[in-house]
Amino acid sequence: MNKQNPFSTIRLPRNQYFYIITGILVLIIPALFINLGMMRLINDESIRALVALEMKLSGDYVTPTLGGEFYFRKPPLYNWLLVLFFRITGDYSEWTTRLPNVLFLIVYCFTLFYIFKSRYGIRKGFLVAMLFLVSGRVILYESMFGLIDITFSWLIFANLIIIYTFYHRKKYFLLFSLSYSITGITFLLKGLPPVVFQGITLLVAAFSERNFRALFSWKHIVGALPFFLITGSYYYAYYKVNPGEFPELISTLVLESTDKSAIAFTLWESLANVFQYSFKILYSFVPGTFVVLLFIRSKPFEIIKDDPFLQYLTRVFIFNIIIYLISPVTYMRYVLMLVPILFIIFIEYYEWHKKERTWQIKLLDILFIITCFIFLVSMPVFASLKITGFVDFAWLKASVLLILMIVSIALLIRKTHYRLELLIISILLMRIGFNWFILPSRVHNHWEIKGKDQVIEVSQKTKDMPMYQYRIATHEHATLTPPLLYYATAARQDIIREVMNTEKEGYYLIYDPDSVYTGRCIYTIQNRPDVTLCVIKIMN
């Protein structure tokens, strides 16, 4: 393993390299936090937030509900985490719902740095962490929303390392007890998927260490008990509180994991997805996935053949990714625990090709420079667009980013040994520009913001009586979208339940395509671009 001085190949004076790294760390804060709470909640994050809010309002932390109805699709651990942030901040805004995700992203990056630094040196550890942070899918999506996947992936990745470390050291009881504890925790985040990860990764570790006997030892049996203790404690509590709903909870938990897998699709659909999903991974996680270019006319496994740790990670990647390659209903966020493996391989190959001065490295350098010039040109374009004309100090912000981008590109062209670090700086500057210009343009005069403002205003004006959603069984748009339902619940601090009649006194949200209630409509809410809900008041 490479444990040489991490600065041994640096041609810049060490203090100059320190400035580059400091610049990256400083830029991370505005890149991740500027306008974090500006965009309206999307469906998935509003569902997580609404379930958490209803737990807080009801005082029932065992039974997840959505609109007062039983919610079976996800276990409650992430909801508990959101409740904690709600209580600490006393706030229910988009900022608060997204803050845990961003904090865990930072923790994930630090974990990557720590793990790879200990084996490959400070610079490579830092580059793996930063390539993950600035990869396309993470920097332009996962870091912007309050979803489960970053937290889940961090724990799964940590578990992959724990399994290898203690299997290699033959500390089997510690291996099984720790890894099954993490599997139990991640089960309460996402259900069955971590069990599959656990099984596959233990088999990979056993093969890598040429030792399957440990899998059949008493230490494995006893070490697995924390998983059953963690998961069993919650589901026993759920059964005691809701015995009649327990069968549906279990069946939905299984269905949630299997209806997106290859089991639910034909062989042809699964095979077609292998190519589609592979391509999506390559473009979703650039620049780290440029590793495929470095495989061309080279020996793919030459560099890792003498590194047992990289061999293990490569096998973990291959055998776990197969599940997603053959499952047509999968998303990029499902593999966030695996892509850092590609990034360390990319760095190892990048360093080798750079040393050999191959044509692949020349091609990558050209791609990096072109990418940075595109970012450079985009800054004044952002400031001059009509849709961004309302942004305060637009040209001042664009000028600052433009100057910093010019400096970054100049260094990138001149300092060839640190092009990856300088590319990372350029991507972070691009994200800051995205925060300043694109995010405001997405919400300016958008129907979703109109609907949000309307539902908050109506909710605050109708706190004197309960509010219900009147469901029309034949119409899928008869009730509030999850984001609007969350805003209404947060504004009222009361659960808004669905009903099939108007027998109770209170306010009713009603979809009225036949104008039955139009004359009684006291407020309207833009629920979707072409759907408006009426609010009527029923007094008995």
Q: What is the pLDDT of residues 293-308, one digit of tens each?
A: 776 655 656 677 788 9
- Average pLDDT in the 46-70 region? 94
- Average pLDDT in the 433-438 region? 90
Task: Report percent pLDDT > 90 for the chain.
Answer: 50
Task: Estimate the share of the chain in helix, then strand, then coil, as percent rounded to the nearest 5.
Answer: 70, 5, 25
Domain ranges of the chain: 52-338, 357-443, 447-538
- How many beta carbons lie within 10 A of that of residue 377, not counting itself? 12
Q: What's the first-to-final CA gap in the chain, in angstroms? A: 78
Chain-centroid distance, C-alpha 456: 27
- How many beta carbons lie within 10 A of that of residue 219, not counting itself? 17
Among 134-143, 286-295, 402-411, name the one with the lowest average pLDDT: 286-295
Q: In this structure, what token pair is assigned to residue 320?
A: 């776990």
468 half-sphere exposure, CB direction, 13 A CA radius: 17
In whole angstroms, give the CA distance from residue 121 to residue 2.
7
Q: How confident is the model at residue 501 (pLDDT cuts 50, 70, 90)?
A: confident
- Average pLDDT in the 95-124 region? 95
pLDDT of residue 445: 60
For 16-54, the pLDDT digits (tens) are: 778 889 999 999 999 999 999 989 999 999 999 999 999
Check whether 166 has a pLDDT greater than 60: yes
Given the DSSP bridges, would you call strands 467-470 and 69-70 parallel, antiparallel or unpaired? unpaired
Check whether 114 has a pLDDT greater than 90: yes
Check whether 100 has a pLDDT greater than 60: yes
Q: How confident is the model at residue 130 (pLDDT cuts 50, 70, 90)?
A: very high
pLDDT of residue 2: 46
pLDDT of residue 440: 84
Residue 266 burial by Cβ neighbours in a 10 Å radius (0-12, 13-18, 19+): exposed
* Burial 395-430, CB ≥16 within 10 A → b, else e: eebbebbbebbeebbebbeebeebbbbbbbbbbbbb
Q: Which residue has the higher pLDDT, 161 or 473?
A: 161
**Nearest Cα to Cα of residue 508 among 519, 497, 516:** 497
- Average pLDDT in the 435-447 region? 79
In whole angstroms, give the CA distance from residue 482 to residue 73.
15
In whole angstroms, give the CA distance from residue 7 to residue 374.
31
Task: Provide the H-helix boundaries in 36-171.
Answer: 43-58, 77-89, 94-120, 122-134, 136-139, 149-168
| DSSP output for 330-350 | --GGGGTTTHHHHHHHHHHHH
- How many beta carbons lie within 10 A of that of residue 503, not counting itself? 9
- How many beta carbons lie within 10 A of that of residue 454, not counting itself? 21
In whole angstroms, give the CA distance from residue 343 to residue 351.
12
pLDDT of residue 195: 94
Tokens 């979809």 appear where? 511
Q: How confident is the model at residue 168 (pLDDT cuts 50, 70, 90)?
A: very high
For 243-284, the pLDDT digits (tens) are: 988 888 888 888 776 655 545 455 666 666 677 777 788 878
pLDDT of residue 267: 62
Among 3-7, 228-232, 530-534, name the one with the lowest average pLDDT: 3-7
- Average pLDDT in the 397-416 region? 86
pLDDT of residue 263: 52
pLDDT of residue 101: 96
Check whether 474 has a pLDDT greater than 70: no
Among 22-36, 63-77, 285-299, 321-335, name the one with the lowest average pLDDT: 285-299
pLDDT of residue 372: 87
- Average pLDDT in the 343-371 region? 83
Check whether 475 has a pLDDT greater than 80: no
- Average pLDDT in the 156-163 region? 96
Q: What is the pTM of this model?
A: 0.90
| DSSP output for 266-291 | -HHHHHHHHHHHHHHHHHHTTTGGGH
pLDDT of residue 274: 74
CA distances from 267 to 126, 195, 264, 324, 517 (A): 41, 24, 10, 14, 50
Check whether 13 has a pLDDT greater than 60: no
pLDDT of residue 4: 46
Among 120-124, 285-289, 437-441, name the one with the lowest average pLDDT: 285-289
CB 65 within 8 A of CB 52: no
Q: Which residue has the higher pLDDT, 21 or 386?
A: 21
